[in-house]
Amino acid sequence: METVLQKLAKQLNEFDEASLMSLWDRYASQVEHFEPSKRWEEAALILSFIQAVRFKNQLFNFNWSKGLAPGETAPQKPVLEAVPVPQKPKPQGKVLAFTGKRPNRD
């Protein structure tokens, strides 16, 4: 199975992204209208292939723009960065409860 996937990856890598993107609308439309059929499943896979090539190219360009050499890895950034928690504003004044005198009922 791995050999077949590697062969598929090599074939996908040979395709031009612009040519693949010209097919994106067609397959996105087919996938949007679900039908329980092999045709729909294959359209979903084709759309995934197109998106995979685009993702690969964007990731490649991102790493290339960072000046990474082949085989070099980018410095790791934490997945979740600390986000400062906004402090509650200090109250401007104090609200007092009304405690008026009760009339004397004798």
105 belongs to a structural domain:
no
Higher pLDDT, 64 or 28: 28
> How far apart are the C-alpha atoms of 33 and 94, rounded to whole Å?
60
Residue 84 falls inside a structural domain = no
pLDDT digits (tens, 9 = 90+) for 16-43: 888 888 888 888 888 888 889 899 899 9
User: What's the CA gap between 44 and 39, in Å, rounded?
Assistant: 9
**CB-based contact 85:48 (threshold 8 Å):** no
Q: How many domains does the chain have?
A: 1
Residue 95, in any domain of the structure: no
Give the pLDDT of residue 105: 61
**Per the domain annotation, does 30 fall within a domain?**
yes
pTM exceeds 0.75, yes or no: no
Can you spell out the DSSP letters for 71-105?
T--PPPPPSS---PPPPPPPPSS-PPPP-PPPPP-
Does residue 35 lie within any of the structural domains?
yes
80 domain-assigned? no
Domain range for 32: 2-65
DSSP state, 62?
Answer: H
